[in-house]
Amino acid sequence: MKTLKIAIQKSGRLNEKSVELLKNCGLSFENYKSSLISPVSNFPLEILFLRDDDIPEYVQDGIADLGIVGENVIEETEVSVAYLQRLGFGKCSLKIAVTNNSDITDLSGLNGKSIATTYPAILSKFLKKENIQAEIRTISGSVEISPGLGLSDAICDLVSTGGTLKSNGLKPFADVMSSEAVLIGSKGSENDELIQELIQRIQSVLRAKE
Ligand code: PRT
Ligand code: ZN
C-alpha cells in the first residue's frame, strides 16, 4: 500500500494546532522537535516538518501529497494546488497600515508612496486591482518598524490582535486579504481514496468543535 506524505510547519504559529488536529484525527506519531519526518503508526502517512514557506511548492511538485499552511503563504508563492479544507485556525488579515500621524487616509493616498512588506506578490496584485501606483519595498521581516525608520510611507503586514501595529504607532486602513490555515493537496488529489478518508476525519474533528 502507498504511503501519503503531509507537510506541516516545523515550528511557529501553525505547528501546535496542526499537530493537535492530526492527533485528534486518531493519528499516532512521535512529535520530536529534532526530527524532520515522522511516520504515523496507524495510518499509511508520514509527516514532514518544514518551514511554512516551502510547503506550497512541495505540494505542487508532489514531494508531499498534502500540506497545512496559511492561505497568505499559498497566495504569495503563486502555486497551483487544490484547496481541500479550511481548518479554522491561524486566522489573520493582511492589512495596509500607516503611522498614526500620516496624511495618508485612504487607498488613493498611496499613489506615489512606498510600502514595505514581506508579501510583494499579493500586494502588487492588490495595488494593480485598485489602480494604485506605489513603490513596493520588499523586506524580510520587522516590517512594522520601517515607517518609523523612514524606510517607507506605509506597510503591508499580517495582523491578528492588532497589538503589534498599535505598539509601533501604526493604524490599519485597508484590508488586502484574510487568511486561515488550510489543507492543500496537489491538483486532482481530492479524488484519492486515502486522502478522502483523511479529509473526512478532519471534517468530523472540526464539526465536533463547533
Ligand atoms: O519558520 P517559518 O517560516 O515556518 O514561520 P514564519 O515565521 O514565516 O511564520 P509564523 O510562524 O510567524 O506564522 C505562520 C502563519 O501563521 C502565517 O503565515 C499566517 O498564516 C499565520 N498567522 C496568524 C500569523 C499571524 N496570525 C500573525 N499575527 N503570522 C504572523 N503574524 C505576525 C505578523 O506578521 C506581525 O508581526 O504577528 C504580528 C502581528 O500580530 P498581532 O497579534 O500583534 O496583530
Ligand atoms: Zn515562513
Residue 196's domain is classified under what CATH number? 3.40.190.10
Pocket probe mutation, ligand 1, options 48, 158, 164, max atoms within 8 Å of Cβ: 158
Q: Are residues 149 and 173 in the same domain?
A: yes
Closest C-alpha to 75, from 117, 13, 119, 115: 119
Angle of helix 193-209 versus helix 15-24 axis, rounded to 10: 100
**For residues 87 and 61, what is the distance between their CA atoms, to the nearest angstrom?**
22
Q: Are residues 190 and 117 in the same domain?
A: no
Closest C-alpha to 78, from 50, 96, 53: 53
ipTM of the complex: 0.98
Q: Residue 50 class from Cβ within 10 Å (0-12 exposed, 13-18 middle, 19+ buried)?
A: buried
Q: Are residues 102 and 116 in the same domain?
A: yes
The per-residue pLDDT for 1 is 73
Task: pLDDT tens for the chain, 210 residues: list them.
Answer: 789 999 999 999 999 999 999 999 999 999 877 779 999 999 999 999 999 999 999 999 999 999 999 999 999 999 999 999 999 999 999 999 999 999 999 999 999 999 999 999 999 999 999 999 999 999 999 999 999 999 999 999 999 999 999 999 999 999 999 999 999 999 989 899 999 999 999 999 999 988
Helix locations, the chain, DSSP H: 15-24, 55-60, 71-77, 120-130, 163-167, 193-209
Task: Give the residue, by CA position, lying nearest to ligand 1 atom 2.
Answer: 51
- 52 alpha carbon to ligand 2 midpoint, in Å? 5
Q: Are residues 82 and 110 in the same domain?
A: no
Pocket probe mutation, ligand 1, options 15, 33, 52, max atoms within 8 Å of Cβ: 52
Count of structural domains, the chain = 2
Closest C-alpha to 96, from 160, 178, 164, 157: 157
Strand-strand pairing, 45-50 and 4-9: parallel
Which domain range does residue 108 map to?
Answer: 92-179
**For residues 92 and 185, what is the distance between their CA atoms, to the nearest angstrom?**
22
